[in-house]
Structure 1
Amino acid sequence: MIGANLGLLFTAFTWATQIAAFDILLEHWDPYFLATLRYSWAAPVLLLAVKLTERGPLIPNFVPPHRLWLLGGVGIGLFSPCLIVGFAYSSPVMAAIFTATSPAVAAIVARVFFGTPIDRRMIPAIMFAFVGCSLATYDPTNETDPFTFGGGELLILVANACWSWYSIAAQRWLDGWSQIRITGVTLVYGTIAGIGIYIVAGLLGQADLSPEPARNMTELGLHAWIALACVCGGVATWNYGVKVLGVTVASLFLNMVPIFALVILAMLGQWPTVTQLIGTALVVLGLLTAQLRQLGLRRIAAEKPAEPLDGGAIRSSAR
């Protein structure tokens, strides 16, 4: 339990650092190339880790190939370019704020794709997220267009939806697999899908198929950090946290992503505006309140004594 909590805290921190890292890298690199590169570095590392720590074939039990392609294609191949291109067409502060909508998006995705009813406690949180994001884009100093959408914000929402679907589907479809195996195998399929998307974007004139080499050690260090810490470490600890604590509890830690990100960006000299801070607070407050209420009800249900059977026997699920 402690390991899952610490792992999710690590995930939140590393994912927050991505926002600042990509803000630097996008000055020189194509976003589609960056989206593909970070997983291309990470997949071999995770496969090696699976080989060294686990026995048996890479895919231990039969899983329909189309499910592996869907998990990799949607959860990695499509998620990554939507996220990075979204970062490219929005400010780092806006990227941090819209990333915080992930729990609300997850509730909608679970309802649409898996038939999970939306908890009524999440409805105010979803409304807070909508109002908070709208307020964060409002710039009263801009008289012609006070709502400063860069276009990338919508792609970040799509990326959140892809990741939410992957997080739920992976635990259902690959039940019994270790989290490092789930991460490694889906990364392989996702990397292949991402390369395909990158090539198609290049052929359509939307991506640079001949990127320049890294200019300095800082860029190489950021690439290594994103691949090893954010992807290999962050995705593995996220999947582990979802497995142990569930998506609702794991999503609590995602509320820390914009807070970490805004602190990091402020240290780098990119201060958020007052309306952006208020918008962030609304998003985090709404989601945090709903999730804490849900956890409280679960705890009460878990502590509620079992009803006695006839004769005073206690119901038990033990076999």
Structure 2
Amino acid sequence: MSKYRAWLLLVATNLFWAGNYVFGKYVIADITPLWTTFSRWLLALLFLFPIAYFLEKPNWKTVKKAWLSLVSMGLLGVIGYNMFLYSALEYTSSTNAALVSAINPAVIVLFSVFLLREKISRIQTSGIVLSLIGTFVIITQGNLGQLFQREYNKGDILMLAAVVIWTLYSIVGRRLTTVPPITATAVSALFATIIIAPFALAQGINVTEIGPLAVTGILYMAIFPSVFSFVFWNMSVRAIGISQAGIFLNLIPVFTALISGILGEQITATQVLGGSLVFMGVYLTTGMLDHKFAVLFANHN
């Protein structure tokens, strides 16, 4: 896969994940985080396995040998991340959750440098910093002082745990090269669904309390953030590495603002400014600059 295709897939990935933040806040009002996670991925499996079968035609003997990594991906990316994310949204606002998740690219880079020995240039480091500033401009509405004046609640701590879990999931996915990405997503989701099923059944659910908005949200999350985003993410991580893929996570607050605008909320000047900084940061970090200019920049620093 070319890096340009990987970039395009990552933009779509984070657009769908932004919708997950928007719908997630509404869904957990009617459905517990446990059942939200379980029902979302149970429905997603109906799409993932046919897609994997027809597009990748996996070697199931090879898949079987990688069972430990696939179980780990299911525990981390499917159960762990989603449970912490939806639990966080019970205690904190979407804005606060976005604030904490903004450190995700930095955490991914930190882990990948120490665990995978990936290297990043000075100009890529500048891009990371710039995109983080842009994200903070968006989620603080231009008042960066809020970053140092606020107190973090239980939801913020849960979101921080989600960030670490997602980083570990990405590292496992990066190292799993024997199983095609769509198949890896499908099988890891199957393991996760089997593991979480007894807990969901024991908790129970009252379907009469589930409104139409929650149903719509579950269907959206089962198709777009679950199927397309996870498949696109795993494909892109393998193609360009975790460090470059991780910077695209800063697009989530940008797309969240755009979705909110479509739903009737006003887009502010600070959101436009922050979004521009994020895109500039992605531009630098992914190495889209001409190589000669990048070398010149490095030599003068």
Question: If the length of structure 1 is used for normalisation, what is the TM-score?
Answer: 0.72
How far has the Cα of 1:235 moved from its partner?
0.8
Contact 1:76 1:190 in 2 (8 A): yes
Matches of 1:81 and 1:215 in 2, distance apart? 19
Matched, 1:74 2:68: no
Q: C-alpha deviations, 1:56-87, integer Å up to 9, x for none?
A: 54353553533222221122221110111112
Alignment-mate amino acid for residue 160 of structure 1? V
Q: Quick one: distance in 2 between partners of 1:296 and 1:22? A: 33
| Equivalent residue for 1:45, pick from 36, 40, 47 | 47
Other-structure match for 1:104? 106
Q: Displacement, 1:17?
A: 0.7
Tell me which structure has the larger Cα radius of gyration.
1
Match of 1:230 in 2: 225
1:205: which partner in 2? none
For 1:53 and 1:238, locate their aligned partners in 2 and report how far apart those are by CA, in whole Å.
Answer: 16
**Percent identity over the alignment?**
21
How far does residue 118 in structure 1 lie from its aligned partner after superposition?
Answer: 7.5
Which of 182, 206, 210 is the matching residue for 1:212? 206
Residue matched to 1:261: 256
Return 5+ residue gaps in structure 1 as ranges.
Answer: 141-145, 203-208, 304-319
Provide the rounded CA distance (Å) in 2 between the counterparts of 1:194 and 1:123.
41
**CA-based RMSD:** 4.0
Q: Which residue of 2 is the match for residue 27 of structure 1?
A: 29
Matched with 1:191 is 193
Q: Distance in 2 between matches of 1:194 and 1:233?
A: 22
Residues 198 and 293 (structure 1), Cα distance of their counterparts in 2 relative to 1, 3 Å cut: same
Which segments of 5 or more consecutive residues in structure 2 lack a partner in the other structure?
144-148, 296-301
CA–CA distance in structure 1, aligned partners of residues 259 and 134 of structure 2: 24
Distance 1:149 1:271 in 2: 27
Q: CA 1:137–1:193 in 2, change beyond 3 Å: closer, same or farther?
A: farther
Asked if 1:155 is matched to 2:158, the reply is yes
Quote how far apart the aligned CAs of 1:46 are: 0.7
Q: Residue 165 of structure 2 aligns to which amino acid in structure 1?
A: C
More helix by percentage: 2
Q: Cα offset for 1:34?
A: 0.8
Q: Is the 8 A contact 2:13 2:230 kept in 1?
A: yes
Answering whether residue 284 of structure 2 is matched by residue 292 of structure 1, we say yes
Q: Distance in 2 between matches of 1:194 and 1:298?
A: 48
Q: Retained in 2: the 8 A contact 1:122–1:287?
A: no
State the shift of 1:105 in Å: 1.6
Q: TM-score, normalised by structure 2?
A: 0.76
Q: Which moved more, 1:24-33 or 1:260-269?
A: 260-269
Are the counterparts in 2 of residues 104 and 125 from structure 1 also a CA contact under 8 Å? yes
- What does the per-residue CA deviation read over 1:219-248, in whole Å, with 9 as the maximum and x for residues that have no partner? 322211110111111111111222223323
Amino acid paired to 1:262: A
Asked if structure 1 preserves the Cα contact closer than 8 Å seen for 2:23 and 2:217, the reply is yes
Task: Tell me how many residue pairs correspond in the alignment.
Answer: 287
Q: Distance in 1 between matches of 2:190 and 2:68?
A: 14
- Counterpart of 2:284 in structure 1: which amino acid? L
